[in-house]
Amino acid sequence: MESSTPQDKVRVRFAPSPTGFLHVGNARTALFNWLVARHFEGSFLLRIEDTDAERSRLEYETQLMADLRWLGLDWDEGVDIGGDYGPYRQTDRYGLYRKSAGLLLAKDRAFRCFCSEEELERARQEQLARGEMPRYSGKCRHLAPAAIAAQLQAGTPFVLRLRVRPGTVGFSDLVYGRIEIDTVQISDPVILRSDASPTYNFSVVVDDVAMKITHVIRGDGHLSNTHRQILIYEALEAPAPSFAHLPTVLGPDGSKLSKRHGAASLEEFRLQGYLAGALVNYLALLGWSPPGEGKEIMDVAEIVARFELSRVSRSSAIFDSTKLDWMNRNYINAMPLPDLLQHALPHLVAAGLIMPEPDARVRAWLELVLDAVRSHVDHLDQLPRECAVVFGFPGGLPALEEEARAILAEPGALRVAREFERLVAEREVLTLDAYREIAGLVKQATGQKGRHLFHPIRAALTGRGSGPELDRLIPIYEEGSRLGLPRRVMPCRERLAAVLGLF
Ligand code: GLU
């Protein structure tokens, strides 16, 4: 596909089967389709392929739409919003498949096959025993009209098979290049089962034709279906769309990505506090790279502008959760604080740190907290853990880290800390100015400076050896203690007393 505007309006579709939760691989397929649609100002369709009655569930359909919306992948036509080429759920299109199959039968591009399952299975076993590739024998390909009439009369169940022509069949995949095969490798594929339900290869082609799809972009697991589908386009006398098959997403160990490699469903990523923008950015780079200097952090508008199928790589895309974490951390740190607070609140509320719907004063304070700790989290469900530096000391007892204990055990450290505590106790509130003044006084009184001055102060205030800057933490402790939060925040004075009381 050229980057210039194509002649016909680009129409692409994401066609999930609602048989499970949306996982990384499928989300990447949805995203690439959406990117192509938005890049060319075309249409993105959501078609539900629910022909597998046993495994398809409405709850999966609902969830996958919620996941796509969360990612920001909006569709222009689909089950919920309709469109000019509906219905968009395959089980609502059975009449259409039967009609198309009937046309192929009338044109002799399809034929009735009366072979029973047992018969086909026996033939298969015999072929395997002879070391041949199992293939439909062609037994019903040339039944005489009288024989067909007799079978129909007897009520013998039958399927419809495509009459595969001799010769080669091929297509030029936008990712994999030209792939041609001899049609002897293809058995006459079933298009309609004996219960008149369509097979995947048939329904997908009938729909892609009817919905005027210009580009089929899907996982490379479907490469082997494509030749059959091309033969169905031919039989329907419809032009085939362009195809782009995307490399399979693998785990770091090279096996197909699964739950073993960490969170796999979109819902899980959302619950763990990955930001949709970060995930979209990450998924876009699973198989695609922009031309040029290797820039990786790109907002969605930039990705839309730069996206090209010609830069999708054939080599498998490795899902690397460390890189996703790095990406998410970047987004967390770049996000405006009021927005970050919106995303963080559910995690803080769930951890019992904050009541739902906090007032403006609490929100302003929470923004200070988030700003102090956000560089330490990869995903937002880690916030409660990081916020322990603020909310810690439940029941008034500090969990003194080993590192903090070691700092306070250094020569002169306890004297610094106690002098600091004494001077702080003289103040009503510890403002930042007061803190700086007191630090100066402690320095004079003890002769300690630099890390010998500030490390003991930090250890005594926070119970930890490292963490956010004291300049940030002190106002957070002081203001937080006045907010009446469900999990009380101790002011500096109390914190110092609690820690130093241990010595
Ligand atoms: N329902 C198919 C799947 O989920 C869609 C394949 C296609 O895009 O043609 O794999």
The string of pLDDT tens digits covering residues 12-64 is: 999 999 999 999 999 999 999 999 999 999 999 999 999 998 999 999 999 99
Return the active site residues: 259
- Give the count of alpha carbons within 13 A of 270, CB side only: 17
Q: Whose CA is nearest to atom 10 of ligand 1?
A: 16
Q: Given this model, what pLDDT does residue 174 score?
A: 96
Task: Determine the topology of domain 93-246 in CATH.
Answer: Rossmann fold (3.40.50)
Pocket flag, ligand 1, residue 12 (CB < 6 Å): no
What DSSP character marks residue 8? S
Q: Given this model, what pLDDT does residue 5 score?
A: 43
By the 10 Å C-beta count (0-12 exposed, 13-18 middle, 19+ buried), 359 is classed as: exposed
Q: 208, 215, 218, 227: which to mutate for ligand 1, most atoms within 8 A of CB?
A: 218
Domain ranges of the chain: 93-246, 391-500
Pocket flag, ligand 1, residue 17 (CB < 6 Å): yes
Q: Which residues contact 317 (CB under 8 A, 6 or more apart)?
A: 28, 246, 247, 248, 249, 250, 286, 287
Residues of the chain with pLDDT under 50: 1-6
CA of 282 to the centre of ligand 1 (A): 22
Q: Given this model, what pLDDT does residue 197 score?
A: 95
What kind of architecture, by CATH, is found in domain 391-500?
Orthogonal Bundle (1.10)
CA of 46 to the centre of ligand 1 (A): 11
What DSSP character marks residue 198? B
CA of 221 to the centre of ligand 1 (A): 9
State the closest ligand 1 atom to the C-alpha of 218, by its place in the atom list counted from 1: 8
Q: 11, 36, 200: which to mutate for ligand 1, most atoms within 8 A of CB?
A: 200
Report DSSP letters for 222-235, one per residue: GHHHHHHHHHHHHH
Check if the beta carbon of residue 191 is closer than 8 Å to that of residue 101: yes
Q: Which of 154, 117, 151 is nearest to 136 (CA)?
A: 117
For residue 385, the SS3 value is helix
Q: 45, 89, 204: which to mutate for ligand 1, most atoms within 8 A of CB?
A: 204
CA of 47 to the centre of ligand 1 (A): 9
Pocket flag, ligand 1, residue 204 (CB < 6 Å): yes
State the closest ligand 1 atom to the C-alpha of 221, by its place in the atom list counted from 1: 10
Model pTM greater than 0.85?
yes
> How many C-beta atoms surround the C-beta of residue 481 within 10 A?
18
CA of 15 to the centre of ligand 1 (A): 5
Q: Given this model, what pLDDT does residue 257 score?
A: 81
